[in-house]
Amino acid sequence: MIVTVLVDNNAREGLTAAHGLSLYVETDGRRILFDFGPKGELLLQNAEALGVDLSKVDFAVLSHGHYDHSGGLEAFLQANPKAPVYAQKDAFQPHYVDKGEGLRDISADVTLPERYPTRIKRPFALVQPGDGLICFALVPRKIPFGEAYDTFFSGSAEEPVPEDFHHEMHLLIREGLTWYLLAGCAHQGIANVLDHVEGLIGKKPAAVIAGLHLIGETPETVATVGDALKERGVPVCTCHCTGSEAYAQLSEQLGTQIRFLQAGDVLEFGDD
């Protein structure tokens, strides 16, 4: 499996960085796009600079209904004539954040499912787009995670309700007997996602590629996430909303179990 980071908060020379995420995956002859970054132009430009032909993607996944993952979705639908896009049923509901300065709308474009009804597939809990591919949502939040969790809302601007992130959809990819996990922001907590995966496939994934949503979290929260990752022993490639401070701390704690990714990075898994 080869994973190319198309959009991230950080970028190698010649690429544009922006708060958001988009990963391009080639596995067993299939081409997958996981998230679309915050803007269409950015996705198209970075993909072109990296030699990735988005028109050849076979299917795509939206990790959750936040603009920094969905902003390039319409540009993708126009650049690619055929690939279905899987998103949890409620990903296109309104979503907000309030960090003490009032409610800020961070929704995906809520009109997209109406305008692209045949392209956007909206499963509720789980879908298998092909052999060895599982998109799943509804991860139970068994272990509390992060102070930021309570700053997110859904509902409406007039009547916001606390967010439960059931619109997060993660992707499992199998190559041979080996599974890999892709997660966008892991708002539900990466430990909860990893434990849920074990229930689904009966073992741990060989690696996880994910944002860990630790920007602005306390060192204590970061240490708790580090402990949970260490206990589970799954190698982590992280990017996007993990943030450089949390990464530095996790890197101390986890050593070679964790590595940092940015736009332009290419990861190769398997066959070694």
Please report, as ranges, the residues that interact with Fe ion according to CB under 5 A.
66, 68, 185, 241
- Is the CB of 212 or the CB of 234 nearer to Fe ion? 212
- Is the CB of 18 or the CB of 179 nearer to Fe ion? 18
Q: How far is the CB of 211 from Fe ion (least distance, A)?
A: 6
Distance CA 133, CA 131 (A): 6
Q: How far is the CB of 215 from Fe ion (least distance, A)?
A: 9
Helix axes 219-232, 190-201, angle to 10 degrees: 20
Q: How far is the CB of 29 from Fe ion (least distance, A)?
A: 29
The DSSP letter of residue 202 is S
- Is the CB of 27 or the CB of 246 nearer to Fe ion? 246
In terms of DSSP H, where are the helices of the chain?
Answer: 40-49, 67-70, 73-79, 112-115, 190-201, 219-232, 244-254
- In the block, which residue shows the tokens 């601007």? 157
Q: Check if the beta carbon of residue 182 is closer than 8 Å to that of residue 5.
A: no
Q: How far is the CB of 204 from Fe ion (least distance, A)?
A: 24
Instruction: State both tokens at 187.
Output: 């708002």
- Is the CB of 85 or the CB of 241 nearer to Fe ion? 241
- Is the CB of 182 or the CB of 185 nearer to Fe ion? 185
Q: CA 67, 68, 69, 75 torsion: positive or negative?
A: positive
